[in-house]
């Protein structure tokens, strides 16, 4: 598919025009098909903010497409809005901030995007070129700081290279393994006047050679047949699917491969939605807080095929004990660095996932390979029935699981769900259904509290007609609670649910299990925040508190039916825990399933070295 920016200079209507650097930045952003810019202004980025306004005024006059500017409460919010936009759409999110604190406030979103392979371009203003290194007002060494956390960083000191640099930043962000790219632009470069070329990118032969190698890395017949032979010899195969399948736009091919061979699928936290969670082959999420039956399936499989997954510590806390019954482990991924990094693979392929999965299906169909895994399915069905997700359904207190179940009953797997980080994040991952990719937005690798609300706003901008719900916790939403006002300011109908247990729930759960109940720094019961009043102050016409179990169905229905932004605080059982749970560094045989999910191993170990916490 041709990208909007892939035009020749002759094709661009403005090629040859005189423009300032700021106008060039804005024109390239528009050429890239960007639908919104998320950012906060300041002195060093003012020329480009002025160019945004001028561009949109021109488009309003000539009937062209404008690029809305969404202004958050702070720059971290802008970064997470751009990330939410990117995660929900698959397109590059754009964040634009000023120098110094404006740039450093985006470090966390940049690292978050790098960790979860999310495409984002951050345009930072910088002090004038001559002042760099002089500790000028609002100067920060952006290239040095961001170089450690971004996919790539550019500092533009030659204005003649600005246009090509910005265009190249988008290319790097969205190609290969996606990630965040930072472009640091001094104020004098923004004010410079030159000729707009309308095309051109920087010379990056090494990077483009790697992209070409990835595209050319076809899975040949011999290698494909080897994996199919492993399937013939297998009685209990399992697909272990990560976020790479979603990022690589390989969900359709994955489903074809799984259905063709009848292989059940477990997903990582980031892989949720790669396959419809209600599909007969879906065994839902594995890992530290995965479904017990999913983890038992991993233990019992004799062939594990990892696709776009990286065997991280939340899945393979004890690498030597992971998938301990598997005779072979196969690994398909775009990134060579992930192969054999944590767990040794008996068979691997590095390349584009859709191509590799299509090749496997082609070879299988040509060979008329039709395996029979009916005994394995019967075993998994028994696991699913005996070790199903469960909670204290008899409690008179509001259980978070019940609230999520009720929201899920109404939304039927069609909503876009964003979360903060903590217990609420895991309950949402465990209990919600997702019909397709890019409906589940969460901070996976970084685990950044405060992610949920701004990411939901970005997702709503990317999908104006969708139902977008932020499932948050009282501690997590505090991190970026200023963005409540952003939703109402722009009339974005984001639905916000705060599951309030008056504390850092996940931290408290670990403290109860591993620190003899000493709740050091995690109790928020004495804090004075009235979330409903805060939401009302920020313009929410619908803002309610729910604290009675009997009211859950009616209030949830009313909340979801409200046409604009809506806020719901739910007072939940403070002792509700996230189970199952696999302690850090432990295998699935030491999984703690809690009071309401039967364990088959009965080794509810909590003897964990505190040095391996979180």
389: nearest Cα among 277, 507, 557, 276 = 277
Task: Report CA-CA distances (Å) from 431 to 427, 524, 552.
Answer: 6, 26, 16
At 261, give phi and psi (nearest 5°). -105, -5
Q: Which of 58, 60, 137, 233 is catalytic?
A: 137
Please list, in sequence order, all residues whose beta carbon lies within 8 angstroms of the beta carbon of residue 539, skipping any fewer than 6 positions away. 485, 488, 489, 565
Rounded Cα–Cα distance for residues 578 and 600 (Å): 18
Structure tokens at 425: 């994040």
State the Cα–Cα distance between residues 421 and 570, nearest whole angstrom: 17
Q: Is 137 a catalytic residue?
A: yes
Give the Cα separation of 502 and 508 in Å (integer): 11
Q: Which residues pair with 329 in a beta bridge?
A: 304
* Residue 323 φ/ψ, nearest 5 degrees: 50, 50
Distance CA 545, CA 413 (A): 25
- From the list 431, 479, 506, 581, the catalytic residue is 506
Report yes or no: 21 and 192 within 8 Å, Cβ to Cβ: yes
- Alpha carbons 76 and 95: distance in angstroms, whole number: 10
Question: For 179-218, what is the HEC assignment?
Answer: CEEEEEEEHHHHHCEEECCCCCCCCCHHHHHHHHHHHHCC
Per DSSP bridges, beta strands 468-473 and 193-195 are unpaired
Q: Which of 151, 187, 359, 524 is catalytic?
A: 187
CB of 544 closer than 8 Å to CB of 535: no
User: What are the beta bridge partners of residue 523?
Assistant: 503
Kindly state the helix (H) or strand (E) to which residue 240 belongs, with its residue range.
strand 237-241
The answer to whether residues 92 and 173 touch, using CB atoms and an 8 Å cutoff, is yes
Distant-in-sequence, close-in-space partners of 525: CB < 8 Å, separation ≥ 6: 502, 503
Neighbours of 439 (CB within 10 A): 25
Pairwise CA distance, residues 193 & 430, whole Å: 54
Q: Where are the alpha helices (DSSP H) in 148-291?
A: 162-174, 187-191, 205-216, 221-233, 243-247, 251-261
Mapped onto helix, strand or coil, the DSSP state of residue 330 is strand
- Percent of residues in the chain assigned helix, strand, coil, to nearest 5: 40, 15, 45
Catalytic residue among 7, 66, 138, 512: 138
Between vectors from CA 352 to CA 351 and to CA 356, what angle results, nearest 5°?
A: 85
Whether residue 138 lies in the annotated active site: yes
- Annotated catalytic residues are 75, 137-138, 187, 506
């Amino acid at each position: 598919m041709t990208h909007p920016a892939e035009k020749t200079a002759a094709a661009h209507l403005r090629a040859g025009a005189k423009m300032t650097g700021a106008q060039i930045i804005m024109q390239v952003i528009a050429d890239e098909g960007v639908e919104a810019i998320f950012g906060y202004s300041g002195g060093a980025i003012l020329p480009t903010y002025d160019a945004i306004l001028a561009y949109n005024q021109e488009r309003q006059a000539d009937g062209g497409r404008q690029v809305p500017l969404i202004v958050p409460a702070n720059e971290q919010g802008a970064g997470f809005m751009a990330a939410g936009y990117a995660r929900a759409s698959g397109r590059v999110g754009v964040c634009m901030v000023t120098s110094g604190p404006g740039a450093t406030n985006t470090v966390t979103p940049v690292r978050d995007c790098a960790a979860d392979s999310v495409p984002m371009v951050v345009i930072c203003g910088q002090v004038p070129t001559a002042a760099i290194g002089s500790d000028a007002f609002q100067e920060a060494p952006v290239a040095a700081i961001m170089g450690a956390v971004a996919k790539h960083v550019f500092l533009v000191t030659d204005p003649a290279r600005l246009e090509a640099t910005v265009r190249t930043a988008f290319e790097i962000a969205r190609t290969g393994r996606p990630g965040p790219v930072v472009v640091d632009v001094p104020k004098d470069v923004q004010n410079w006047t030159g000729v707009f070329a309308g095309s051109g990118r920087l010379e990056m032969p090494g990077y483009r050679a790697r992209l070409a190698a990835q595209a050319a890395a076809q899975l040949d017949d011999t290698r494909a047949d080897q994996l199919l032979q492993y399937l013939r010899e297998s009685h209990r195969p399992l697909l272990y699917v990560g976020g790479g399948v979603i990022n690589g736009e390989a969900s359709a091919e994955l489903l074809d491969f799984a259905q063709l061979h009848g292989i059940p699928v477990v997903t990582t936290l980031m892989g949720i939605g790669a396959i419809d969670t209600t599909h007969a082959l879906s065994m839902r999420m594995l890992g530290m807080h995965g479904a017990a039956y999913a983890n038992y399936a991993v233990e019992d499989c004799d062939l594990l095929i990892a696709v776009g997954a990286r065997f991280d510590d939340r899945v393979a806390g004890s690498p030597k004990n992971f998938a301990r019954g598997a005779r072979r482990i196969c690994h398909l991924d775009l990134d060579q660095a992930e192969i054999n990094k944590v767990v040794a693979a008996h068979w691997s392929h590095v390349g584009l996932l859709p191509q590799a999965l299509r090749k496997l299906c082609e070879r299988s169909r040509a060979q008329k390979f039709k395996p029979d895994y009916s005994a394995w399915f019967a075993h998994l069905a028994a696991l699913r029935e005996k070790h199903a997700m469960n909670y204290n359904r008899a409690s008179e207190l509001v259980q978070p699981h019940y609230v999520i179940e009720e929201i899920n009953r109404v939304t039927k797997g069609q909503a876009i769900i964003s979360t903060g980080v903590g217990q609420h994040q895991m309950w949402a991952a465990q209990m919600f259904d997702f019909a397709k990719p890019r409906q589940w937005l969460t901070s996976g690798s970084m685990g950044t509290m405060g992610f949920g609300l701004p990411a939901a706003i970005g997702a709503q901008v990317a999908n104006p007609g969708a139902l977008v719900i932020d499932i948050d916790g009282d501690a997590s939403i505090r991190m970026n609670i200023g963005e409540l006002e952003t939703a109402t300011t722009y009339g974005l109908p984001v639905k916000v649910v705060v599951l309030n247990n008056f504390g850092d729930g996940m931290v408290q759960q670990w403290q109860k299990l591993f620190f003899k109940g000493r709740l050091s720094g995690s109790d928020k019961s004495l804090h004075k925040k009235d979330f409903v009043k805060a939401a009302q102050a920020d313009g929410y016409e619908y803002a309610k508190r729910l604290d009675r179990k009997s009211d859950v169905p009616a209030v949830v229905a009313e909340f979801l039916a409200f046409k604009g932004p809506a806020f719901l605080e739910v007072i939940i059982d403070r002792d509700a825990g996230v189970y199952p749970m696999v302690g850090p560094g432990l295998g699935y045989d030491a999984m703690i399933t809690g009071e309401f999910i039967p364990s088959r191993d009965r080794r509810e170990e909590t003897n964990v070295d505190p040095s391996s916490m979180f």
